């Protein structure tokens, strides 16, 4: 049985189709499209362990935990954004532009299984940096879950190791936390700007470990609009 078969069997059930409005292309009954998508973009465990896990270990700490604990190693400066799902189109394009500047060829999306408390296998996906939003959303129920399901948390990072994103979708106040090497701060701060009111609201959502003065990380102050 293929590593991803359990994911197809679970998420192709009609009960999950409530998340399809996030990805209008989904019909939620095209299991063949879901399998073709996973055949193209699923990251096998052996390939993950050989190449990607060492990069993940350099970027992220405590990979059996999530918020409210810290998730980035101290070498990474962080910015925090309102979250809730893995990607929305506009924010994905901004992150994609950052990846190009960082020199990434590929990026991965790795579900946080909380030390396998979430039944295996969690999502492990690999994509080329050049992927279009339309192609990213072309996997029917699989794309619907990846992009629209608010109950999975994910690690996202590229092969450069220069940045990472933690999508804390299931936290009480969902957050996107983007970490990057300090030499790359200007790239990310230029791409991600938030209204002043949103910035102030996000500050109240942060766990104590992430608040100013309580974090091992330097917090980047995003330009506001």
Of residues 19 and 208, more confidently modeled: 208
**Among the listed residues 147, 121, 144, 119, the one whose alpha carbon sits nearest the alpha carbon of residue 11:** 144
pLDDT band of 16, cuts 50, 70, 90: confident
CA distance 215 to 39: 40
Per the structure, how many domains does the chain have? Answer: 1
Whole-prediction pTM: 0.92
User: Is residue 193 over pLDDT 90?
Assistant: no
Residue at 185 is within a domain: yes
pLDDT band of 214, cuts 50, 70, 90: very low
**In this predicted structure, what is the pLDDT of residue 221?**
46
Residue at 85 is within a domain: yes
Of residues 119 and 158, more confidently modeled: 158
The two three-digit tokens of residue 147, written as one number: 């992009």
The two three-digit tokens of residue 109, written as one number: 């999306």
**In this predicted structure, what is the pLDDT of residue 81?**
93
Residue at 223 is within a domain: no
Across residues 117-144, what is the average pLDDT?
90
Residue at 217 is within a domain: no
Residue at 221 is within a domain: no
Of residues 90 and 219, more confidently modeled: 90
pLDDT band of 212, cuts 50, 70, 90: low
In terms of average pLDDT, the best of 51-55, 113-117, 204-208 is 51-55
Summarised one tens digit per residue, pLDDT across range 61-103 is 977 889 999 999 999 999 999 999 999 999 999 999 999 999 9
Burial (0-12, 13-18, 19+ Cβ within 10 Å), 43: buried
Residue at 149 is within a domain: yes
Summarised one tens digit per residue, pLDDT across range 135-169 is 999 999 999 999 999 999 999 999 999 999 999 99
Q: Which residue range(s) make up the domain with 38? A: 5-209
Residue at 219 is within a domain: no
Residue at 74 is within a domain: yes
Percent of the chain scoring above 70 in pLDDT: 89
């Amino acid at each position: 049985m293929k590593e991803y078969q359990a994911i197809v069997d679970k998420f192709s059930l009609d009960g999950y189709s409530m998340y399809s409005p996030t990805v209008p292309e989904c019909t939620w009954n095209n299991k063949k499209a879901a399998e073709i998508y996973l055949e193209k973009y699923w990251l096998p465990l052996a390939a993950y362990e050989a190449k990607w896990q060492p990069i993940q270990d350099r970027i992220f700490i405590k990979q059996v935990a999530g918020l409210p604990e810290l998730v980035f190693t101290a070498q990474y400066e962080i910015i925090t954004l309102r979250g809730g799902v893995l990607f929305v189109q506009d924010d994905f394009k901004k992150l994609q532009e950052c990846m190009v500047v960082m020199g990434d060829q590929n990026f991965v999306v790795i579900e946080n299984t909380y030390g396998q408390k979430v039944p295996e296998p969690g999502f492990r996906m690999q994509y080329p940096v050049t992927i279009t939003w339309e192609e990213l959303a072309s996997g029917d129920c699989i794309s619907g879950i990846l992009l629209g399901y608010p109950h999975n948390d994910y690690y996202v990072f590229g092969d450069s190791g220069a940045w990472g994103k933690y999508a804390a979708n299931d936290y009480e106040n969902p957050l996107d936390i983007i970490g990057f090497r300090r030499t790359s701060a200007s790239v990310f701060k230029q791409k991600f700007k938030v209204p002043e009111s949103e910035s102030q609201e996000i500050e109240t959502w942060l766990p104590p470990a992430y608040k100013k003065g309580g974090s091992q990380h330097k917090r980047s102050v995003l330009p506001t609009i």
